[in-house]
Amino acid sequence: MVTRNRIDFKDVAAVAVQEESWRRMPVMSFCYQQCRAQPIVSGKTLVTYNGHVKETIVGLQSVEYVHSSVWPGEFLYHEISQFPYTMTVTLTSGTYHWQDSSDVGCAARYLLVVEAGQYCVLHETMQLQDSARNLDIVVKKGASLQHYAALKPAGQMCDHIQVWVEEGASYQQFFAISGQDVYRRSQCFHALASDSQVMVQGMVAVKSQGFVSDHTLLKQHAANTRSIHRVNTILDQGAKADVYSTVDVVPKAPKVTTRQNIRHLLLSEDAKAFSKPALNISVDDVDCQHGAVSRMIDDDLLFYMNSRGLDRQQATQLYLEGYVDTCFKGYPEGDRLALQIKKAIGLLDE
Amino acid sequence: MIDIKNLCVSASDKKILQNFSLSIPLGHVTAIMGPNGSGKSTLANALAGHQDYQVSGVVDFKGSDLLALEAYERAEKGLFVAFQNPVAIPGVNNLFFMKTILNAKRKREGLEPLDASDFMALVEEKAALVGLDAKFWERSLNDDFSGGERKRNDILQMLLLEPDFMVLDETDSGLDIDSMQLVANAINSLKSEQRSIVLITHYQRLLRYVQPDSIHVLMNGAIVKSSDKSLVEKLESEGYQWLQEIE
């Protein structure tokens, strides 16, 4: 067993959440332990627990059974990237269900590869606690991955996601994040070649002094690439969210399109939101739009609904239902994510 | 039906209505006219319970002190205000909103909620009266509606709720001639001995279709002239200047 920089993560996170340093791009360091886990093969699901494969599915290839126990301290990506993947999965056309959970203090490094020309749908349910995770995804030439991510982190969680999208390939992520603890996510998407596209869209619902720090970098390396990043948050009961979104268009990458939108909805006076949408454009002839807004529910909207006989609570619930549905409207599996958010904000029973 | 005594309304410390008094009996159609800025819309919003207005005075509505009630309680009591500028609420489905407010009313009345097919039959019947159709059902409430469509959507809600006391704030503005006729017919369909209607308007044209029992002219926050419908034509031809001179 190799041990480096072992730090009590809870203490670090508790202090760090109060500090400005948490508003920088997260990084990770960790300790590393390697062992083997016995896989269980069944049905059409992939179950990972404490960073190792617990169950796998028929149709998956190249599964490597390595268990890594990672102790997160600072989130230094360049260090985690030095360690081997705990799970490597190659996806061919089909629909996959992945459940990822852990005990306190574990983390892992996953690699998903979508083979060229394949069309995959991945339903991910993540319920990690006090852990760190690194998920790398490669979408090869002409392939497509629809990634529905239902994220329910608990305790102090760090998540690092990196996605490479090759020529003519498409990666779409629809996410729902709900919780009342601390979740830091750092995502980096690379549209590597012409006609590659990345869409990241979803909603964050936090309450009870919870904190979500979501950092996203969309890097467009080539001409004719497209990216969309839309984040909606609902913050209640002293919750706080930082959302950073940066689109980086490199030189010699004209005719790119990007849309970027961050919307915070504050349900209580003590909720806090911070947005930083940024466009780093190094070339002319691009079509880029970005915007951000933080607000509470407009009193005039509530008044209109009140004037039709709905009390404030009914009107607020109706408004929130619409707000959530709008975020996921039009996507085949969006209802499941909308359901998660509605439960998190109390519109539906858990 | 409603008895307003010495109603004073201000917004941001600016006095808008001053000692406004008016009684509207059951079954009456009352028109309130007046120049821009005279306080007509303020009256409608104050009666509806808009949070931006400070109010004093007494408004007796069906035996209750209206000003002591929350906005939703006023609606529950049977007050409906069709607003001059109905707000858009992105994300809230128009049809679902109408079903929610209708079933909330039915619940208060001890009735079972309408199921989907009964509700659709009802809404299609009422919508035909105001010239709205299925293409408005999947849209968000008043979102991307034209001004006239918003007004008609408000009237559709009114037709569904069948309130006892209706205040229509410049519902005629923004309506084309055909829509005006439809809306007027819809309003007339709700006229009854048990209901009262207040039409706030600038123009004679709506009052040609919906005959008022009395007309009041509001200027500078107070009623300066009350008469029967013959007053409309004088206002249409001579404007409000002569009333200012009298005042």
Lowest mean pLDDT among A3-12, A182-191, A291-300, B62-71: A3-12
pLDDT the model gives residue A43: 40
- Alpha carbon distance A60, A111 (integer Å): 13
Considering only residues B207 and A72, tell me which one the structure prediction assigns the higher pLDDT.
Answer: B207
In this complex, is the C-beta atom of A308 within 8 Å of any C-beta atom belonging to chain B?
A: yes
- Alpha carbon distance A234, A211 (integer Å): 12
CB-CB: which of B80, B87, B140 is closest to A304? B87
pLDDT > 70: percent of chain A = 77
pLDDT the model gives residue A80: 56
Are the Cβ atoms of A310 and B104 closer than 8 angstroms?
yes
pLDDT the model gives residue A131: 79
pLDDT the model gives residue A155: 86
pLDDT the model gives residue B128: 95
pLDDT the model gives residue A54: 64
pLDDT at B167 over 80: yes
Span A222-270, pLDDT tens digits:
999 999 999 999 999 999 999 999 999 989 889 999 999 999 999 999 9
Residues B43-71 as b/e (b if ≥16 CB within 10 A, e otherwise) read bbbbbbbbeebebebebebeeeebbebeb
Written as six digits, the tokens of A291 are 């915007």
> Does the CA dihedral A83-A88-A90-A94 come out positive or negative?
negative
pLDDT at A19 over 60: no
In this complex, is the C-beta atom of A252 within 8 Å of any C-beta atom belonging to chain B?
A: no
Are the Cβ atoms of A307 and B97 closer than 8 angstroms?
no
Span A139-159, pLDDT tens digits:
999 999 999 999 998 888 888
Residues of B near A (Cβ–Cβ under 8 Å) read 48-51, 70-72, 74-76, 80-81, 83, 86-87, 89-93, 97, 100-101, 104-105, 108, 140, 157, 161
Span B220-244, pLDDT tens digits:
899 999 998 888 888 888 888 888 7
End-to-end CA distance of chain A: 40
Helix (H, G, I), strand (E, B) or coil at B227: strand
| Chain B: residue whose CA lies nearest to A299 | B51
pLDDT the model gives residue A79: 54
pLDDT the model gives residue B114: 95
pLDDT band at B203 (very low <50, low <70, confident <90, very high): confident
DSSP class of residue B68 equals G
pLDDT at A197 over 90: yes
Are the Cβ atoms of A322 and B140 closer than 8 angstroms?
yes
pLDDT the model gives residue A28: 37
Give me the residue spans of the domains in chain A.
9-296, 303-350
The nearest CA of chain B is from the CA of A334 a distance in Å of: 15
Q: What is the mean pLDDT of residues A189-206?
A: 95
Shortest CA distance to A306 belongs to which of B42, B11, B70, B60? B70
Q: How many CA atoms lie within 13 A of B24 on its CB side?
A: 29
pLDDT the model gives residue A3: 32
Q: Which amino acid is at A105?
A: G
Most confident listed range (A55-59, A284-288, A325-329, B187-191): B187-191
pLDDT at B5 over 80: yes
Lowest mean pLDDT among A104-118, B21-35, B127-141, B204-218: A104-118
Q: What is the mean pLDDT of residues A310-339?
A: 91
pLDDT at B132 over 90: yes
pLDDT at B121 over 90: yes
In this complex, is the C-beta atom of A303 within 8 Å of any C-beta atom belonging to chain B?
A: yes
- Alpha carbon distance A216, A345 (integer Å): 24
The nearest CA of chain B is from the CA of A59 a distance in Å of: 40
Query: Which structural domains are found in chain B, ordered by start?
Result: 2-246 (3.40.50.300)
pLDDT the model gives residue A64: 44
- Alpha carbon distance A238, A342 (integer Å): 18
| Chain B: residue whose CA lies nearest to A310 | B72
Contact list, B72 vs chain A (CB under 8 Å): 306-307, 309-312, 314-315
Shortest CA distance to B161 belongs to which of B200, B92, B114, B199? B114
pLDDT > 70: percent of chain B = 99
pLDDT at B40 over 70: yes
For helices A312-328 and A334-344, angle between their N-to-C axes, nearest 10 degrees: 150
Considering only residues A1 and B220, tell me which one the structure prediction assigns the higher pLDDT.
Answer: B220
pLDDT the model gives residue A17: 43
Contact list, A306 vs chain B (CB under 8 Å): 49, 70-72, 75
| Chain A: residue whose CA lies nearest to B93 | A322
Q: What is the mean pLDDT of residues A110-134?
A: 88
Shortest CA distance to A146 belongs to which of A338, A334, A341, A342? A334
Mean per-residue pLDDT of chain A: 80
Mean per-residue pLDDT of chain B: 93
CB-CB: which of B74, B91, B161 is closest to A323? B91
Q: What is the mean pLDDT of residues B32-42?
A: 93
pLDDT at A56 over 70: no
CB-CB: which of A299, A308, A310 is closest to B51? A299
CB-CB: which of A303, A306, A319 is closest to B92? A319
pLDDT the model gives residue B214: 94
pLDDT at A82 over 80: no
Contact list, B140 vs chain A (CB under 8 Å): 322, 326
Q: What is the mean pLDDT of residues B67-80?
A: 97
Span A21-40, pLDDT tens digits:
444 544 433 333 333 333 33
